[in-house]
């Protein structure tokens, strides 16, 4: 109401607005029945048609107050440069406000004069004394711990500040106030444990802040195109290499010092995924799953001139140079190298985090049992054109290519494409009079449908019924299994060709050069890493 008075709104209109706000009532639909009407205790609220206008009036007045403070010199805004460069004092969003000022106590008092009176207002507003222990824990997790998280993500916070916030949280949970001190029955460290371990899943703010600084270090390594990464790398002369040169300087900001300190932990948990083998070092950088740097596992001395050799120096024409590798590397590690795809021209190597929340496994195509054939199929949906396509191929027990196919299907979705390609693959295998066939695809949804013989999609049920009937035909023996897409690369290659083909499709009797390269990788058991969560 003070804002309405300040803007010169007539008293009659002020009274009308106040009456509309204070006399509003609402009903709640509770389990299908309308509860008794109630009067909201707050003034501005969502759903009230007057609230947006009143909010805009209040925020506009606040903007004028800040502008007046800047004009009188009480508020020192941030300057982007000298001369006529614009100065920033505040930014207004839809429902948020960012205040910008110098980092001094005087400016904090000027920009946030209301902070002492509002400090703790969330807690008092909830009437903390009347809350149960579970209610106080919930409130502490949603306000006291959650809100500082935004700051913890971007800047290093002093340990004393983290401890003070945690102290406020502990006092609130156990009911300690300025008038009375209560006993804290459980140590804070135990409350920070997961619920499965007897804790309440609170976060240690110091460790959380450190984790966020590590995340920033990791982003500098893996996301060099971001603007803030470019600025920091240029400011602190990190170099243009994939692995930046993290180092302290005399003019380091607190943020940069925290990033450099976190880099030692990040660096120790980097592993490399090999593609062209140019940027990763064979001996000094970890690139073999669960092995680490090779030089730590070698008893024999490595020539100094070879220590910094890249991985591609030990491969040629898509094959490992085993004569050079086996002369130095132990046999058990050679076996692990054998399942890694040798470097080839194309995409560059890239770093990844080896401490994943899951297990990294090596995935490769497996040949079928003796006297069996394997049909790998795949379907896809093109989000740009809206078309679907499919493709697949048949190989014998030795991994030898028998026949392939690809086709455009129409306009639908990936589920339809996967079901259609399975039907096509079954038909082609039947026409070849194959007695024993394994069908593999990377759609677990379709595999589950076929295995159960049921789908909730009524339109898909006729096609599913035909597929199940064909698989159960007495003239042959079949099975169907789900595989990861890393073991289904040949079918994926043919599916991509299907998007540019016709609805009649094409039969492939002789594999092209690109398909032959993937077939050869599968034949020799080359594997690709996959994170299993």
What number is the average pLDDT over the span 157-176?
87
Buried b (16+ CB within 10 A) or exposed e, 493-505: bbbebbbebeeeb
Closest CA to 302 of 273, 288, 282: 282
Token pair of 1 as six digits:
């109401």
Of the pLDDT bands very low, low, confident and very high (cuts 50, 70, 90), residue 437 is: very high
What number is the average pLDDT over the span 464-476?
93
What number is the average pLDDT over the span 203-220?
90
Residue 106 to residue 102: CA distance in whole angstroms: 9
Residue 92 to residue 97: CA distance in whole angstroms: 5
Residue pLDDT, tens place only, 260-301: 999 888 888 888 888 888 888 899 888 887 788 888 888 777
Three-state SS for 498? helix
Burial of 113 (0-12, 13-18, 19+ CB in 10 A): exposed
Could you give the residue range(s) of every CATH 3.30.420.10 domain in the chain?
373-532
pLDDT for residue 81: 60
Look at residue 360 and tell me whether its pLDDT is greater than 70.
no
pLDDT for residue 40: 67
Residue 119 to residue 165: CA distance in whole angstroms: 12
What number is the average pLDDT over the span 337-360?
77
The H or E element that residue 21 is part of is helix 11-22
HSE of 346 in the Cβ direction (CA atoms, 13 Å)?
A: 8
The domain covering 373-532 belongs, at the CATH homologous superfamily level, to: Ribonuclease H-like superfamily/Ribonuclease H (3.30.420.10)
Residue pLDDT, tens place only, 66-82: 888 888 888 888 776 66
Residue 217 to residue 203: CA distance in whole angstroms: 21
Using CA atoms, how far residue 90 sits from 66, 69, 96, in Å, is: 8, 12, 11
What number is the average pLDDT over the span 229-254?
81
Residue pLDDT, tens place only, 130-146: 778 888 888 888 777 77
Of the pLDDT bands very low, low, confident and very high (cuts 50, 70, 90), residue 17 is: confident
DSSP β-bridge partners for residue 374: 395, 438
pLDDT for residue 196: 84
pLDDT for residue 125: 43
Model-level pTM?
Answer: 0.54
Spatial contact of 336 and 325, defined as CB atoms under 8 Å apart? no
Look at residue 164 and tell me whether its pLDDT is greater than 70.
yes
Of the pLDDT bands very low, low, confident and very high (cuts 50, 70, 90), residue 391 is: very high
Q: What angle do CA 401, 526, 311 make, to 5 degrees?
A: 135
The H or E element that residue 213 is part of is helix 205-222
pLDDT for residue 129: 64
Residue 423 to residue 492: CA distance in whole angstroms: 17
- Helix, strand and coil content of the chain, in percent to the nearest 5, comes to 40, 15, 40
Look at residue 118 and tell me whether its pLDDT is greater than 50.
no
Closest CA to 471 of 430, 505, 500, 440: 430
CB under 8 Å to 82, separation ≥6 — which residues?
none
- In the block, tokens 């086709």 appear at 407
Look at residue 383 and tell me whether its pLDDT is greater than 50.
yes
Output 374 or 5, whichever has higher pLDDT.
Answer: 374
**Among residues of the chain, what percentage have pLDDT more than 70?**
90
Residue 247 to residue 238: CA distance in whole angstroms: 8
pLDDT for residue 46: 58
């Amino acid at each position: 109401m003070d804002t309405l008075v300040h803007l010169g709104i007539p008293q009659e209109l002020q009274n009308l607005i106040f009456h509309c706000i204070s006399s509003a009532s609402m009903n709640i639909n509770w389990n299908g029945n309308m509860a008794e009407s109630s009067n909201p205790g707050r003034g501005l609220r969502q759903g009230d048609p007057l609230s947006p206008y009143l909010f805009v009036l209040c925020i506009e007045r606040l903007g004028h107050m800040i502008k007046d403070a800047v004009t009188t010199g009480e508020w020192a805004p941030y300057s982007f440069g000298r001369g006529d460069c614009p100065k920033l004092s505040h930014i207004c969003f839809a429902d948020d406000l960012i205040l910008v000022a110098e980092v001094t106590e005087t400016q904090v008092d000027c920009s946030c004069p209301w902070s002492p009176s509002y400090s703790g207002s969330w807690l008092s507003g909830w009437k903390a004394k009347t809350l149960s222990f579970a209610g106080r824990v919930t409130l502490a997790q949603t306000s006291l711990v959650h809100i500082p998280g935004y700051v913890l993500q971007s800047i290093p916070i002093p340990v004393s500040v983290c401890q003070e916030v945690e102290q406020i949280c502990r006092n609130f949970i156990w009911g300690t106030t300025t008038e009375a001190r209560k006993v804290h029955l459980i140590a804070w460290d135990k409350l920070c444990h997961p619920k499965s371990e007897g804790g309440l899943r609170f976060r240690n703010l110091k460790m959380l802040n450190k984790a966020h600084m590590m995340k920033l270090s990791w982003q500098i390594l893996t996301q060099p195109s971001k603007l803030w990464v470019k600025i920091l790398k240029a400011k602190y002369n990190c170099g243009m290499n994939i692995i930046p040169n993290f180092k302290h300087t005399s003019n380091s900001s607190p943020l940069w010092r925290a990033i450099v300190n976190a880099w030692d932990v990040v660096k120790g948990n980097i592993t490399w995924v090999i593609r062209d083998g140019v940027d990763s070092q064979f001996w000094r950088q970890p690139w073999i799953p669960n092995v680490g740097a090779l030089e730590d596992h070698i008893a024999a001395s490595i020539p100094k001139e070879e220590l910094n050799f890249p991985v591609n120096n030990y491969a040629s024409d898509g094959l490992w140079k085993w004569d050079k590798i086996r002369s130095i590397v132990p046999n058990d590690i050679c076996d692990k190298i054998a399942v890694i795809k040798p470097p080839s021209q194309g995409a560059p190597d890239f770093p990844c985090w080896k401490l994943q929340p899951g297990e990294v496994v090596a995935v490769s195509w497996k040949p079928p049992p003796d006297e069996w054939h394997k049909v790998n199929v795949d379907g896809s949906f093109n989000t740009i054109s809206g078309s679907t396509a499919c493709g697949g191929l048949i190989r014998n027990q030795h991994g030898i290519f028998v026949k392939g196919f690809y086709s455009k299907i129409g306009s639908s979705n990936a589920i339809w494409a996967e079901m259609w390609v399975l039907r096509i693959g079954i038909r082609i295998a039947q026409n070849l009079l194959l007695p024993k066939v394994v069908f593999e695809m990377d759609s677990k949804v379709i595999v589950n449908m076929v295995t159960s013989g049921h789908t909730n999609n009524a339109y898909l049920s006729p096609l599913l019924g035909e597929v199940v009937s064909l698989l159960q035909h007495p003239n042959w023996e079949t099975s169907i299994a789900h595989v990861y897409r890393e073991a289904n690369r040949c079918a994926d290659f043919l599916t991509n060709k299907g998007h540019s083909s016709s609805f009649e499709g094409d039969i492939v009797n002789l594999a092209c050069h690109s398909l032959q390269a993937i077939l050869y990788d599968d034949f020799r058991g080359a594997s690709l890493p996959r994170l299993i969560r």
